[in-house]
Amino acid sequence: MWVCCVFSDCGSGGQFPGTQCGAGRVGDPTGSSWASVREQLELLGKLGCVLCCCGSVVLIIHSPKSDSVESRAEFQQRLLDPVFVSYITLVLLLLVLLIGWLSPAYGKSNMMVYVGICSLLGSFTVPCCKGLGLAAKEMFDGDSVSCNGALFLFLSLLGILLLSVLTQFTFINRALESFSANVFEAVYYVTFTSSVILATAILFKEWEALGAQDCLGILCGFITISVGVTLLRLSQEAVLVWTSPKDKVQ
């Protein structure tokens, strides 16, 4: 199951050039863990999974569409943008905090520690795959000077992508040893999609094209996701029991 989680992230990154950010992730339904790991969710958990998926779909539909970047030089210029550099710095600091301190202390008792690590790392997959495609194209079509720059970018992004995937392998495996696969997959689905949308929006400056309707749709999507995650967490601690009016009278 954890192999499916990570490779579905890479798959969504590979689909990026033809879809809006994170849309490929819709093809990985939360319920896939029911088939790969034989676990049963109560009614609250199933409702939570449905709300998480629906909220993510609404979020993706109203998320900003990526501005087309057609050259390696333009992509590298976007990577050096101060806003994106600040975002990457913040993500790296959060990863150091989560991996170095929170994971050993609270990882086995709080699922969100592992979810946060995997989602933050997963947000690198779409930009890396986009850059790999542009670099590979220039390596075959460009001159010797541009080929050297494209090769350096290609190897750098490939190293970052491999490190991200391998680290996700480690922490997904740890999460599945301590928590329900159904719940982990649902929450990871939501946070990964949100992280990808945020990263690509900052990198490609997609927020400039957002209108009031899309902002409202994104807000509704996040509210739906929040309710779904809450139901999922409640399903771990409470069971919904149906009682008839006769039982109440007795």
Q: Which range of residues forms the domain containing residue 97?
A: 2-249
- 211: buried, middle or exposed (CB in 10 Å: 19+, 13-18, 0-12)? exposed
pLDDT at 67: 57
Q: For residues 109 and 111, what is the distance between their CA atoms, to the nearest angstrom?
A: 7
pLDDT at 223: 85
pLDDT at 17: 41
pLDDT at 241: 67
Looking at residue 120, its amino acid is: L
pLDDT at 26: 39
pLDDT along the chain (250 residues), means of 10: 48 43 41 49 80 85 70 86 92 93 89 91 84 84 73 90 91 88 78 83 76 85 82 69 60
- Count of domains observed in the chain: 1
CB 59 within 8 A of CB 222: yes
pLDDT at 21: 42
pTM attached to this predicted model: 0.69
Q: Which long-range contacts (CB under 8 A, 24 or more apart) does 93-101 make?
A: 94/120, 95/120, 95/121
pLDDT at 144: 65
